[in-house]
Amino acid sequence: MNRMFARLLAFTLIISSVLFHPSEGDAQVNPVASDIFVKRVAGIDEDFIKGVDVSSIIALEDSGVKFYNEAGKKQDIFKTLNDAGVNYVRVRVWNDPYDSKGRGYGGGNNDIEKAIEIGKRATANNMKLLVDFHYSDFWADPAKQQAPKAWKNLNLEEKKVALYDYTKESLQAMMDEGIDIGMVQIGNETNGGLAGEKNWEAMSQLFNAGSKAVRELDSNILVALHFTNPETSGRYASIAKTLQENEVDYDVFASSYYPFWHGTLTNLTSVLKNVASAYGKQVMVAETSYTYTKEDGDGHGNTAPKDSGQTLNYPITVQGQATAVRDVIEAVANVGEAGIGVFYWEPAWIPAAPDKKLKKNQKLWEKYGSGWATSYAAEYDPEDAGHWYGGSAVDNQALFDFYGRPLSSLNVFKYVDTGSVAPLKIDEIKDVSLSVIAGEEITLPTTVQVTYNNGTSGVVRVTWDEEVVKQAIQNGVGTYEINGEVEGGGTVKLHLTIFPENFVMNSGFEENDRSMWNILYKNGTAPHTDFQNKAADAKSGNYSLHFYSGEEVNFSVEQKITGLEPGYYNLSMFLQGGDANNSDMHLYALSGDQEFKIQTSVNGWVNWSQPVVTDILVLDGTITIGASIRADGGAWGSVDDFYLYKVKDIN
């Protein structure tokens, strides 16, 4: 046996015994062999909901999309889902998702007829159905809770009757078809609205109208309410309290949880457990997903990953996706008996026509509604769908590849019961970014960080393309991409940026000698700045110039620079902070008898702004650069990393 292989196999077995076997007191369950690692989740039983929302499936199939099983044979996706451990299907229902000429709005064109078809197929494959009534004609979420067209002119009392009748008639039609309905959701992400009503008293009456319809048909069907943004402090506690005060009748408090937006799993467990214990409700995650690739399959941009505004704690791989889903399941299970399940949102919303065949996709989206919206949706939703209609923004978050073949991550729904193990391998190699100033020595890292498929991390040696490095040094200022070969196999990219020389001395306040900086406190204010040694408040390094005053913030910080070559220069800095009422903040440069400046502001902790003053003309080699910060008492923040560089000579 190859020595390296033997060592990896032994290490895999050790990790398996530590991570994937149950703890003392649990029944002994051996992890199954597979091609992904999944740590067993303790505390879930056979009734735990392992659900998916495949509302777009009929439109996709009408568009010609085919789905396959693990053996590569074409198979009904509902059977494939159930084989993978899925026991529940969620389907959204819109009242009338069609324009005046009968053309669908898209997003699956999910009216009650589509829901019945999906429900019948779910029931035939031994899965219960969650009916998700949006009570609108198209997407409902915290930003949009528009009443259906037919309800537009109804008052609240009339709307309550309409919602009750619609709910009862729709569910009765589904039950007449023999569909196994386990749960009904009254509204979708109703953080502050439902069917056009935004007042919680009115919303609560609508919730109860829907709940009443469900109870009268079958008292065994669970009634769920659905909210989102669990990361917002106090939100769920406040909503649950309001629902109790308004005597809303429901069983399940459901949350959306997307790992890249909605905070930590510890917080998710905490806020759901609070609702469960304080109000005696069951809780669940009604929507979650994670991306397995950065690629876009249909020519319509994806919601994740983005360069900013998202937290991507898992590798963007099939293994990373499986681990993300597994961890959400565990977070709900950790609530206790009240934590009843998790639904994965649109795991099959793959391209109607793969390989980014945009024109072909556009025709299919328009004809069958297999994209998130058609142009016809502008009639109902002119501000959003009317502008941004198109395809799937989550094709790279599906549990099937772009061609309908199931990913290994689909099996996470059954692997959470047993655990699964796989041969140990590198799952993700993080790209490297390096910024230097022209003329500085460039030292490339000799190792890169990797994540293994069992979730552990490490470092491995890397060899860079020396010819490209030499060429970058020779060319100077610019951005370069350098390929690296990782020891043991794999590649990595280094993004090298060479910036022009920075003429500001001690630009980030990191050096002890800060005598080149002059701080002037204005309007008789006492000193209220300090060179703070706190990396969390610095843009880079450890130090920044921090400011705070309970009375008034009013100061300037500046530096005089000499010996510059004549020419045009740009100046920038970084600024963050908050509570700055009546503020006047600007970055400035004094050259000759001219002042160059640009206004700026603060908008929250570590939300760094970077004002830039461009084309500063320097003739005599001298310039004074600085920042002026003024705001009412209570303002706080920090400035960091001033940067003055030459952009061109004088013609």
Angle between helices 318-333 and 265-279 (to 10 degrees): 30
Following CA atoms 590, 596, 601, 607 in sequence, which dihedral angle do they give, to the nearest 10 degrees?
A: -80
Output the 3-class SS for 546-576: EEECCCEEEEEEEEEECCCCCEEEEEEEEEE
Residue linked to tokens 């009639």: 379
- Nearest Cα to 136, choosing from 163, 157, 103, 168? 163
Sheet containing strand 518-521, edge to edge, reads 518-521, 552-561, 623-632, 584-591, 594-600
Q: How far apart are CA 138 and CA 389, in angstroms?
A: 12
Using CB atoms within 10 Å of the CB of residue 181, give its burial: 0 to 12 exposed, 13 to 18 middle, 19+ buried: buried
- Could you tell me the two tokens for 554? 């009013």
The distance of Cα 366 from the centroid of its chain, to the nearest Å, equals: 27
- Could you tell me the two tokens for 616? 């500063």
- Could you tell me the two tokens for 639? 């400035």
Query: How many C-beta atoms lie closer than 10 Å to residue 636's C-beta?
Result: 20
- Bridge-based pairing of strands 339-345 and 181-186 is unpaired
Helix (H, G, I), strand (E, B) or coil at 158: helix
Q: Active site residue: 46, 157, 189, 231, which one?
A: 189
Following CA atoms 18, 19, 20, 22 in sequence, which dihedral angle do they give, to the nearest 10 degrees?
A: 70
Helix (H, G, I), strand (E, B) or coil at 312: coil
Q: How far apart are CA 633 and CA 554, in angstroms?
A: 9
Query: How many C-beta atoms lie closer than 10 Å to residue 470's C-beta?
Result: 10
Q: Active site residue: 46, 70, 287, 467, which one?
A: 287
Helix, strand, coil percent content, the chain, rounded in steps of 5: 25, 30, 45
Output the 3-class SS for 523-549: CCCCCCEEEEECHHHCCCCCEEEEEEC
Amino acid making up residue 23? S
Following CA atoms 289, 293, 294, 298 in sequence, which dihedral angle do they give, to the nearest 10 degrees?
A: -90
Helix (H, G, I), strand (E, B) or coil at 246: coil
- Could you tell me the two tokens for 589? 């440069």
Judge whether 158 counts as a catalytic residue.
no
Judge whether 511 counts as a catalytic residue.
no
DSSP state of 98: B
CB 89 within 8 A of CB 105: no
Helix (H, G, I), strand (E, B) or coil at 253: strand
CA distances from 449 to 132, 317, 396 (A): 43, 16, 24
Residue linked to tokens 């998130």: 372
Q: How far apart are CA 316 and CA 313, in angstroms?
A: 9
H-assigned helices in 20-98: 57-62, 77-83
φ, ψ for residue 519, nearest 5 deg? -110, 125
Using CB atoms within 10 Å of the CB of residue 476, give its burial: 0 to 12 exposed, 13 to 18 middle, 19+ buried: exposed
Q: Which residues belong to the active site? A: 189, 287
